[in-house]
Structure 1
Amino acid sequence: MSSGRRVRKDVRTNRAALVSAARTELAEHGLDMSLERVAQRAGLGVATLYRHFPHRAELLDAVLAEVLGRYADLARAALDDPDPWRGFVTFLERTTRLEAADRGLNDLLSMDLDGTPACRAAKQEHYRTVCAVIARAQEDGSLRADLRAEDLVFLTWGHARILEAAALTDRPEIWRRHLAFLLDGFRAGAATAAPLPPVPPEEMQQIMERLGTRRS
């Protein structure tokens, strides 16, 4: 292998190690994670971290792109389920389980981070696949017709408090009980007319921008 190729491989390897370490730190310490601990966990120096990610937001951006890619994979798995309702339910259960195990994930998902093309592409693919999961269950007649992806964002934010409380008990999976209540409200047969229309995507983007500013 030539020295140039070896350098490029090392750069990719180091970057992946830093993003993986940041995911672990985020899960354990939330958005207050220490960049010094990230570098140490990755087995690299702080100077190497800053060469890859000069600003904390750039590292969080890379982590978010990876997380959204995982969510999109879960959505595609849901689309492969022959039962649209079961696919929808399984998608929500799996994403909620990820959030239950990761202290900072919900805050990260609500931040307006899209500084890189990779993150913007991940956001678009995540939104597209989630909308497809919703639409398929609605076309099947099992999911209430007025649910939108933006509604799931608000419900996820609300459920985050339940996850936080559940982590303080000796029954950390109690969130599954409350998710079951939510899912019953999503069923087409149990639906009543919503009192207000959903938040449009443009307004949701503005909300996330404001939340991101408050957390930065």
Structure 2
Amino acid sequence: MPSGGNPSPARRDARRNRERLLECARRAFADQGAEAALDGIARDADLVVGTLYRHFPTRLDLLCAVLEPKLRGVIDEVEAALGLEDPWEAFRGLLEVLCAAQAGDRAFGDFLARRFPGDDRTETAHREICALAQGVLERAQAAGVVRPDVTGADLLLLLWASSRVAEATREVAPSLWRRHVHLALDGFRPTNRLDLREPAWDADRLCRAMAESAKRVGRAHAGAGGD
């Protein structure tokens, strides 16, 4: 049995296949979202779908492998925003980082907008991002630069809205979403504000909405004969 040295040809082939699958999945998920067809990803990589499943037994395994590097980069950027001296600039930086990350990447938008119960990888990343965002928000509110009735759920709902603007306009105006995020930012300022007649959502209600969104997508995908 060989020990050390160069990997065997079979191992090199397996590594190349995995890299090709990840490259094709990255493009497909960014363009089509988290429900991109897995058999299409395998075809684009010039492989059979069985090879895909040997490397990534579930759709979520593949999605996590694709998103993990970007998630780490986004978390690093949010942490950098948290460290800015000016609380308003930190708050603005937070929203711009998250909105920019999902613009042009439908799968990342799906990740922010949905929950995948029972999966520790996605739940841990969600909790980390939400905790960092909450820290930025609370610091801005304590400094009096963000209205006190804004909640973490309000920020996530803004991300949902921004993702739809980015998706609808990406072919003709791929940066238009920035204008609407900046308009929304003015609504978070504490001066000359309107009374909010609709109550804010708490974390439980937001989680239920995200989970229900994932269920609707899953039912639609199953009804369309997806994998």
Residue 194 in 1 paired to residue 215 in 2?
no
Q: Where does residue 112 of structure 1 map in the other structure? A: 115
1:143 aligns with 2:146: yes
SS of residue in 2 equivalent to 1:104? helix
**Structure-2 change in CA distance of 1:32 and 1:83 (3 Å):** same
* TM value normalised by structure 1: 0.81
Contact kept in structure 1, 2:39 and 2:49, CA below 8 Å: yes
Tell me what 2:225 maps to: none
1:183 aligns with 2:219: no
Instruction: Judge conservation of contact 1:62–1:119 (CA < 8 Å) in 2.
Output: no
* Residue identity opposite 2:130 in structure 1: Y
Tell me the percent identity: 34
Q: Which residue of 2 aligns with 1:49?
A: 52
* Alignment CA distance shift 1:28-1:122 (3 Å): same
Contact between 1:30 and 1:103, CA under 8 Å: does it hold in 2? yes
| Distance in 1 separating the partners of 2:59 and 2:80 | 32
What's 1:209 paired with?
A: 211
Choose the corresponding residue for 1:167, options 165, 170, 187. Answer: 170
Q: Does 1:99 align with 2:130?
A: no
**Bigger mean CA deviation after superposition, 67-76 or 141-150:** 67-76
Q: Contact (CA 8 Å) 2:98, 2:159: kept in 1 or not? A: no
CA deviation profile, 1:66-88 (whole Å, cap 9, x unmatched): 55444322220111111111111
CA separation of 1:120 and 1:105: change in aligned 2, threshold 3 A: closer
What is the rounded CA distance, in whole Å, between the counterparts of 2:133 and 2:19 in structure 1? Answer: 26
Rate the CA distance shift 1:193–1:13 in 2: closer, same or farther, 3 A.
farther
Deviation track 1:94-152 (CA, whole Å, cap 9, x = no partner) reads 22122222133323322221443222221211111110111111111111111111111
1:133 corresponds to which letter in structure 2?
V
Q: Distance in 1 between matches of 2:94 and 2:138?
A: 14
Partners in 2 of 1:130 and 1:20 — Cα distance?
A: 30
CA distance in 2, matches of 1:40, 1:184: 46
Bigger Rg, which one:
2
- C-alpha separation in 2, matches of 1:14 and 1:88: 41
State the Cα RMSD in Å. Answer: 3.1
- Structure 1 residue 27, shift from structure 2 partner: 1.0
Aligned-partner Cα distance in 1 for 2:122–2:53 = 19
Letter in structure 1 aligned against 2:110 = D
Describe the shift of the 1:34–1:86 C-alpha distance in structure 2 as closer, same or farther (beyond 3 A): same
Q: Which residue of 1 aligns with 2:85?
A: 82
How big is each residue's C-alpha offset from its partner over 1:142-169, in whole Å with a ceiling of 9 and x where there is no partner? 1111111111121221222221232242
Q: More helix by proportion, 1 or 2? A: 1
The normalised TM-score by structure 2 is 0.77
